[in-house]
Amino acid sequence: MPDTVYCSICPRRCGADRSSGHFGVCGVPDEIMVARAALHYWEEPCISGERGSGTVFFSGCALRCVFCQNREISRGYAGKVISVQRLSEIFMELQEKGAHNINLVTPDHYCRQIGAAVAQAREHGLSLPVVTNTGGYVSAEQFEIMSGYTDIWLTDFKYDDPELAMRYSGAIDYPRVAAEALDMMVGSAGKPAFSDDGILRSGVIVRILLLPGHVDDAVRIVDRVWKRHGDSVILSLMNQYTPPSGGLPEHPELMRTVTEEEYDELIDHALSLGIENAYIQEGGTQDESFIPPFDMEGV
């Protein structure tokens, strides 16, 4: 009989026997689960462009943030099990539809299988850059695997305060892990490089989602990233936080949107540092839906 393989690939190192169908902290076994694969138009402009980003939404997530807007898939409630071969075919189908890139959303816990699928697709003519769209909670082992097929890192930096990370994501080590991962990402991808039509071909985008009542933490993240990496990364300062429809009885402070004053304070601080390589969002984003239906389209 084969040896039992206890999962330790992500920073949680939960030790689940995912290879035998047991669920890890990520909420899924190691069989690839995908909830949607389609052109997506709501990423940063240099990712979505005019033709859309070829986005593959994977089920499961090791962070399990209390305010997650993609809870349906991050908790593993939605998704279809597919093979490595089928995933490689999906990449090719998205390329044929005209996608600017292949955008892997929350792929961390499937990095080994994705690496095999990308390799197969490359052999069959896949020429698009690959975007790893991650929550930033990435171990050195995951990075080593993902860097082999990643051209663009689209990463969150959720918290500077460990206590805040523990309260909302149960990950007191998040600030340290995310900072170390970002160092590796910038070292791998280098400064942003664009095609003639303004589409990102390689580089790092750091997303900072402003949480209600936590401007100070977002400001510290901006300071931290700017001091360390300067214009080697693109910042994406986001005001689109929307309270979960099911409520958060243990976190009532998160049951409101970000105010215009809070977001202005964050933007003004970034501008005061001289940051120009950044995206900001217009007002009203909380009223828009950036979440597509997880209806197995393209799977």
100 found inside a domain:
yes
pLDDT in tens, 143-156: 999 999 999 999 99
Q: What pLDDT, on a 0 to 100 scale, did the predictor assign at position 289?
A: 55
Query: Stretch 246-252: mean pLDDT, rounded?
Result: 92
pLDDT in tens, 2-52: 455 678 889 998 888 888 888 888 989 889 999 999 999 999 999 999 999
Q: What pLDDT, on a 0 to 100 scale, did the predictor assign at position 77?
A: 81
Q: Are 185 and 202 in contact (CB under 8 A)?
A: no
83 found inside a domain:
yes
139 found inside a domain:
yes
8 found inside a domain:
no
Query: Stretch 274-294: mean pLDDT, rounded?
Result: 78
H helices present in the chain, as ranges: 45-48, 71-74, 84-96, 111-123, 140-146, 162-169, 174-189, 215-229, 260-272
Pairing type for strands 80-82 and 102-105 reads unpaired
Q: Kindly indicate the confidence band of residue 1, based on its pLDDT and cuts at 50, 70 and 90.
A: very low
- Say yes or no to pLDDT of 215 above 90: yes
272 found inside a domain:
yes
C-alpha to C-alpha distance for 58 and 54, rounded to whole angstroms: 13
- Say yes or no to pLDDT of 285 above 80: no
Q: How many domains does the chain have?
A: 1
CATH of the domain at 39: 3.20.20.70
Question: 51 is written with which tokens?
Answer: 């033709």
123 found inside a domain:
yes
DSSP 49-65: TTT-EEEEEES--SS--
295 found inside a domain:
no
pLDDT in tens, 253-264: 999 999 999 999
pLDDT in tens, 62-101: 999 999 988 888 888 889 999 999 999 999 999 999 999 9
Q: What is the rounded average pLDDT for all residues in the chain? A: 93
188 found inside a domain:
yes
Domain span including residue 181: 25-287
- Say yes or no to pLDDT of 291 above 80: no
